[in-house]
Amino acid sequence: MVRIMSFDRLQKKIDEMRNPTVVGLDPALEHIPPDILRKHVTEKGESLEAAAAAVVEFNMGLIDSLCDIVPAVKPQSAYYEALGPDGALALKATCDYARSKGMYVIIDAKRNDIGSTAEAYSSAYLGAVTVGGAEFRPYDADALTVNAYLGSDGIQPFIDAAVKYDKALFALVKTSNPSACELQDMLIAGAGDAGAPRTVYAAVGDLLESISHHTIGEYGYSRVGAVVGATYPEEIEYLRARLHHTFFLIPGYGAQGGSAADVARAFDENGRGAVVNSSRAIIAAWKKTGSDYKESARLEALRMRDELQSAIL
């Protein structure tokens, strides 16, 4: 029996909007229009509380302007953690508001550990915490980025939570940073097809498919996706051909150098199976246009959608 699951919902949203885009909500304070930050500083003083309040207002404006054309958002937890406890509340408020607008929410936290610590991380971001007789969903994201490089016992607690609460993961496989090759491209002797060497990143991808094969949903993808950088288009194509049941999250498009033609390699023969991230190019588009930040973000998101459609279809 095929089950509807988290990535099925994401793919359905992508199909309905004809837009495989996720907007990274990475609200560095320099990306927030000065009038928004100034308003909250006036009310609360020069404080982390004021900064966090400005982040929430900024994010809500972006979500309002994008929710009918973009299927998903990806808050990067580092920007919220930098603001301390107030930032944690801002992340929660952002996730809740995005979900209320029908958007799929990926928290980009790249968490990883083993045993009870991994279980605690998964409870925080994907699952629930019980206090007495009450159950609470701390962040209740639809998906979470995780670091797969501790091996299967660092991933399994997150998979268990994803299955229990109908969530999903994106695990680091081939990252977009320039030094990724220092470790990820190393060859493992005799471990690949027919005993041929394979790269570390290919081994990680193979492991993820192996341990998540029982979670495949309607569109043919498991609950464990892969982060694969747009800056390595040949590797994207290789992994797409190798990992038939893995949904891809593609960072590195635009500002980092990945093109629409590069990311098009991440999609299957039906134009499915991947979502492409853009962060500051959309949320800080107002800096280039000089116009309202919400209008500028919407226009840039539409431009990106059209560019991706032309490359994929």
Q: Is the pLDDT of residue 212 over 60?
A: yes
Q: Model confidence at 3, in pLDDT bands (50, 70, 90)?
A: low
Q: Model confidence at 84, in pLDDT bands (50, 70, 90)?
A: very high
Give me the pLDDT at residue 269, please.
93
Give the other-Cβ count within 10 Å of 246's Cβ.
26
Q: Is the pLDDT of residue 191 over 70?
A: no
pTM for the structure as a whole: 0.95
d(CA 117, CA 70): 34
Q: Is the pLDDT of residue 190 over 70?
A: no
Active-site entry in 110, 167, 174, 294: 110
Tell me: the pLDDT tens digits for 110-163? 999 999 999 999 999 999 999 999 999 999 999 999 999 999 999 999 999 999
Tokens coding 156: 């399994």
Q: Model confidence at 2, in pLDDT bands (50, 70, 90)?
A: very low
Tell me: the pLDDT tens digits for 223-281? 999 999 999 999 999 999 999 999 999 998 877 777 899 999 999 999 999 999 999 99
Give me the pLDDT at residue 193, please.
63
Give me the pLDDT at residue 73, please.
98
Give me the pLDDT at residue 244, please.
96
Q: Is 110 a catalytic residue?
A: yes
The pLDDT > 70 percentage for the chain reads 96
Q: Is the pLDDT of residue 215 over 80?
A: yes
Give me the pLDDT at residue 197, please.
80
Q: Is the pLDDT of residue 1 over 60?
A: no
Name the least confident of 48-62, 151-165, 194-208, 294-308. Answer: 194-208
Give me the pLDDT at residue 189, please.
72
d(CA 123, CA 130): 10
